[in-house]
């Protein structure tokens, strides 16, 4: 992908889908940050249709679907209304200094029989859900997982934005509006995402040492179809030693510390929810 006149294009010069939102401001004088959101809606198209409606009084620069499809709503040099009342390191009102990306994701969920229900009624199966404590909360909740395709595309376009606009950091809506907003939530692997964008975790002798970024199930095999070990979920911050075996998005690890009275456990974890220790 590439950016031409603040619009997103494919490498073959065909434009990424663009639907103009009226919910915008003027030109940004100083673009500093990238802010990640979840839509909390039933589909990417539903969210796009809402964000291009003037009644929404909200927008974003991009919406990324669960299949990785991108829709741009506002040029990157123009204020979109994605941050609302917000502050970060003395900067107030981040609409004026940030690019906003919405990821199609239902957000927090409630238990419903054998599945988990979103506020709009859709029930999701357990393999699309993670139970975790939000960094701004103290209690466990269920959260809709992002898809590998979605995270891959989000990382690709974010790297392009960081390099093009010399952005300083990637933040969550829950960073700039804590207590008011919970997105992108603990299902989004923010620390891993940030480290890949900015290279903040460099290769070191202990490069195979990781820690969990959320309360995380550890499984007997590489996938949600495999049974979770009895010590699951591993508490956030649990140290793990990678064995070197990987299978797609899954990483085999040894649990370094004793968890729930068990020492030396080995299993598989989703690599999107662990980060290098360093």
Q: What is the DSSP string of 131-200?
A: EEE-TT-SSEEEEEPPPHHHHHHHHHHHHHHHHHHT--EEEEHHHHSBTTB--S-TTS-HHHHHHHHH--
DSSP lists the bridge partners of residue 64 as 70, 103
- Higher-confidence position of 47 and 126: 47
Domain termination site, one of 198, 232, 265: 198
CATH of the domain at 54: 3.40.80.10
The span from the CA of 250 to the CA of 269, in Å, is: 6
Q: Check whether residue 89 and residue 215 sit in a common domain.
A: no
Q: What is the mean pLDDT of residues 163-170?
A: 95
Q: What is the mean pLDDT of residues 9-24?
A: 97
% of residues, the chain, pLDDT over 90: 68
- DSSP character for 17? P
Predicted pLDDT at 278: 67
**In this structure, what are the phi and psi dihedrals at residue 49, rounded to the nearest 5 degrees?**
-60, -35
- Domain membership of residue 30 (yes or no) is yes
DSSP lists the bridge partners of residue 18 as 72
Q: How confident is the model at residue 198 (pLDDT cuts 50, 70, 90)?
A: confident
For residue 140, give Cα distances in angstroms to 122, 130, 172, 235.
21, 10, 19, 11
Predicted pLDDT at 276: 85
Q: Check whether residue 49 and residue 85 sit in a common domain.
A: yes
Q: What are 183's two structure tokens? A: 């997105």
Residue 12's nearest CA partner among 23, 22, 2, 27 is: 2
Q: What is the mean pLDDT of residues 24-30?
A: 95
Q: Check whether residue 99 and residue 154 sit in a common domain.
A: yes
- Domain membership of residue 163 (yes or no) is yes
Q: Check whether residue 224 and residue 180 sit in a common domain.
A: no
Domain termination site, one of 155, 174, 198: 198
- What tens digit of pLDDT does each residue of 44-83 get? 999 999 999 999 999 999 999 999 999 999 999 999 999 9
- Higher-confidence position of 90 and 51: 51
Which structural domain range is residue 102 located in? 2-107+145-198
Q: Check whether residue 167 and residue 268 sit in a common domain.
A: no
Q: What is the mean pLDDT of residues 109-129?
A: 94
Q: Check whether residue 88 and residue 9 sit in a common domain.
A: yes
DSSP lists the bridge partners of residue 144 as 129
Answer whether 16's CB lies under 8 Å from 70's CB: yes
**In this structure, what are the phi and psi dihedrals at residue 225, rounded to the nearest 5 degrees?**
-75, -20
DSSP lists the bridge partners of residue 80 as 24
- Domain membership of residue 122 (yes or no) is no
Q: What is the mean pLDDT of residues 100-113?
A: 97
CATH of the domain at 239: 2.30.30.40
Domain termination site, one of 167, 198, 229: 198
Predicted pLDDT at 224: 86
Q: What is the mean pLDDT of residues 95-105?
A: 97
Q: What is the mean pLDDT of residues 82-89?
A: 94
Predicted pLDDT at 201: 41
Predicted pLDDT at 177: 94
Q: Check whether residue 90 and residue 217 sit in a common domain.
A: no
Q: What are 80's two structure tokens? A: 């979109």
Predicted pLDDT at 203: 42
Q: Check whether residue 169 and residue 78 sit in a common domain.
A: yes
57 Rama class: left (phi>0) / alpha (psi -120 to 50) / beta = left
Predicted pLDDT at 168: 93
- Catalytic positions: 102
- Domain membership of residue 91 (yes or no) is yes
- What tens digit of pLDDT does each residue of 211-264 get? 999 999 999 988 888 899 999 999 999 999 888 777 767 888 999 888 998 888
213 Rama class: left (phi>0) / alpha (psi -120 to 50) / beta = alpha
b/e map of 71-81 (b: 16 or more CB within 10 Å)?
A: bbbbbbbbbbb
Q: What is the mean pLDDT of residues 5-21?
A: 97
- What tens digit of pLDDT does each residue of 221-233 get? 888 888 999 999 9
- Domain membership of residue 126 (yes or no) is no
Predicted pLDDT at 195: 78
- Domain membership of residue 125 (yes or no) is no
Answer whether 71's CB lies under 8 Å from 18's CB: yes
- Domain membership of residue 67 (yes or no) is yes
- Higher-confidence position of 208 and 175: 175
Q: Check whether residue 186 and residue 73 sit in a common domain.
A: yes
Count up the domains in the chain and report the number: 2
261 Rama class: left (phi>0) / alpha (psi -120 to 50) / beta = left
- Domain membership of residue 183 (yes or no) is yes
Predicted pLDDT at 111: 96
Per the prediction, the chain carries an average pLDDT of: 91
Q: What are 118's two structure tokens? A: 């979103």
Q: Check whether residue 149 and residue 268 sit in a common domain.
A: no
Q: Check whether residue 192 and residue 224 sit in a common domain.
A: no
Q: Check whether residue 174 and residue 270 sit in a common domain.
A: no
């Amino acid at each position: 992908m590439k950016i031409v006149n603040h619009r997103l294009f494919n490498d073959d010069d065909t434009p990424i889908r663009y639907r103009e939102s009226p919910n915008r401001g003027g030109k940004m004088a100083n673009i500093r940050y990238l802010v990640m959101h979840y839509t909390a809606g039933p589909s990417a198209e539903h969210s796009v249709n809402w964000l291009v409606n003037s009644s929404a009084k909200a927008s974003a620069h991009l919406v990324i679907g669960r299949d990785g499809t991108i829709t741009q709503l506002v040029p990157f040099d123009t204020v979109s209304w994605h941050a609302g009342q917000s502050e970060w390191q003395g900067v107030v009102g981040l609409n004026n200094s940030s690019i906003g990306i919405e990821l199609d994701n239902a957000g927090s969920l409630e238990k419903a029989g054998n599945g988990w229900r979103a506020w709009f009624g859709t029930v999701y199966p357990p393999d699309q859900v993670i139970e975790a404590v939000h960094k701004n909360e103290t209690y466990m909740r269920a959260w809709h997982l992002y898809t590998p395709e979605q995270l891959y595309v989000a990382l690709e376009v974010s790297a392009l934005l960081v390099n093009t606009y010399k952005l300083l950091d990637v933040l969550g809506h829950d960073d700039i509006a804590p207590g008011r907003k919970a997105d992108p939530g603990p299902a989004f692997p923010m620390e891993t995402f940030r480290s890949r964008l900015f290279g903040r975790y460099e290769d070191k002798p202990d490069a195979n040492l990781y820690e969990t970024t959320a309360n995380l199930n550890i499984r007997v095999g590489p996938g949600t179809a495999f049974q979770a070990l009895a010590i699951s979920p591993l508490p956030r911050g649990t140290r793990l030693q990678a064995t070197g075996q990987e299978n797609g998005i899954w990483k085999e690890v040894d649990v370094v510390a004793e968890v729930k009275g068990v020492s030396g456990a080995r299993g598989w974890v989703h690599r999107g929810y662990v980060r290098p220790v360093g």
